[in-house]
A and B are shown apart, each in its own frame.
Chain A
Amino acid sequence: MRLPLLALLARGPAHGYELKQDLEQLLGSAYPQPNVGQIYVTLGRLEKSGLIEGEDVEQSSRPNKKVYHLTEAGREALSVWFEETEDEPRVRDEFFMKLAVASQTGLADRIALINRQRRQYLNTMRNLSKLAAAENRDNRIAQLLIEGAMLHLQADLDWLERCQEELE
């Protein structure tokens, strides 16, 4: 959560609760949201490492709130983050291992393994479809997140199909 919070602060100063709301709005209800406590803890750490600075702002009827802004070091960290490319998602290694060793054990049938795994993927796919339908259609970022998860799952299902073709 560190860098997304920095990125939100690159637009201008904000306090913790604002940042939580901004994240929710940006990523949609489908994305597992950090609770406000996690956000305050993360902001505290970012401040300690000098990437952001907080300023107490007095409020008339409530306790002071802390408004954070990005420091030059924070801006630099953010630039480095954007410069880097990310690792590819890993192949489902645990299932692959089961498939690789199953026939030697006499304990499991490879086709049964594939069928069971497919059922789970299909159910997950169905749940993702439901999420997509429930999510605001105009929130393109949230819709793309769900679509990305579906396309990954589609690739996993295609691969299961290849396994079944080869091993049956």
Chain B
Amino acid sequence: MSEDTPVLRAEGLVKTHHGEGAPAHAVRGVDLSVARGEFVAITGPSGAGKSTLLHLLGGLQRPDAGSVWLAGRCTDSFGEARWAVERRKAIGIVFQFFNLVSNLSVADNVELPALLAGVPPKKARAEREALLAELGLEGKERSMPGELSGGEQQRVALARALVNHPPLLLADEPAGSLDSKGTREVMRLLSRFHGRGQSIVLVTHDARLASAADRVISFFDGRIADDAALDGAPPPRRGGISSVLELRD
């Protein structure tokens, strides 16, 4: 792909859930483009459809209308198997509840997607070792996911999502089941990978997490209500940021 082909593009996405009761219009016409190396956060109240949108972008659900392009390739004709391959190679995904394979060790959880993608076992192991070290999980290789804290499990999930160096990382409420400390940890790691050029689309209701992104999309009622670049420009106030911190006299 050429430098300026968006890593992800969506046009006219629509998705309605037909469950019991009235149909739920989760996504009602979304156009979106994510440049290579960009970190985009999608925030909004629960039930606004932001997770559904992320699922459409990762091929976990199919839109009723509209299209998704991955690095310029239209996915309209992709079947289940093809999407599964994309999610191994082109897209890494982390979820709120980690979704690790509970009866595989930490090491196997991380190596599995590499092996499935045809990476030689020796290389898969080297990748796994490097990632776990980077994420501060040395010594946990043989642990089972259930033996780890939530924050640790999410770091394993992050290693698994990134083991094949996908151009795009999708994160669905990655700190949604973590405490404040775990949230900061996830935030720090996402920022670090972004700093190295990783493209990220993050769905979160947590503004602290969202503020790590370059761009924040506010999602309400299935639609994009606002799309704002965060330039970190100091707000128009005397004393700048420090007055937010000032204690009462």
The interface of chain A, by Cβ under 8 A from chain B, is 1, 30-32, 86-87, 111, 115, 118-133, 145-147, 149-150, 153-154, 157-158, 161-162, 164-165, 168
Contacts and interface: CB of A to CB of B under 8 A. Distances in A.
Nearest to A146: B245
A30 B242 CA distance: 7
B228 interface: yes
B245 A122 contact: no
Given A111-B225, A123-B230, A147-B180, A128 B241 contact: yes
A154 B207 contact: yes
A27 B248 CA distance: 14
Given A115-B218, A165-B45, A165-B220, A129 B245 contact: no
A71 to B, nearest CB: 22
Contact of B220 (A123, A126, A130, A168): A168
Given A127-B234, A129-B211, A154-B206, A115 B244 contact: no
A131 B249 contact: no
Contacts of B248: 86-87
A130 B232 contact: yes
B225 A123 contact: no
Contacts of A1: 249
Contacts of B139: none
Contact of B187 (A119, A120, A129): A129
A126 B218 contact: no
Contact of B235 (A120, A146, A157): A120
Interface residues of A, dominant DSSP:
helix
A78 to B, nearest CB: 16
B104 to A, nearest CB: 33
B8 interface: no
A123 B187 contact: no
Interface in B198-249: 206-208, 210-212, 216, 218, 220-221, 225-226, 228, 230-235, 239, 241-249
A9 B241 CA distance: 29
A165 B45 CA distance: 8
A126 B230 contact: yes
B174 interface: no
B49 interface: no
B151 interface: no
B241 A157 contact: no
29 contacts: A1-B249, A31-B245, A31-B246, A31-B247, A32-B243, A32-B245, A115-B225, A115-B226, A118-B226, A118-B228, A120-B235, A123-B230, A123-B232, A123-B233, A123-B235, A125-B210, A127-B234, A129-B187, A129-B212, A131-B245, A145-B247, A149-B244, A153-B244, A154-B206, A154-B207, A154-B208, A161-B45, A164-B225, A168-B221
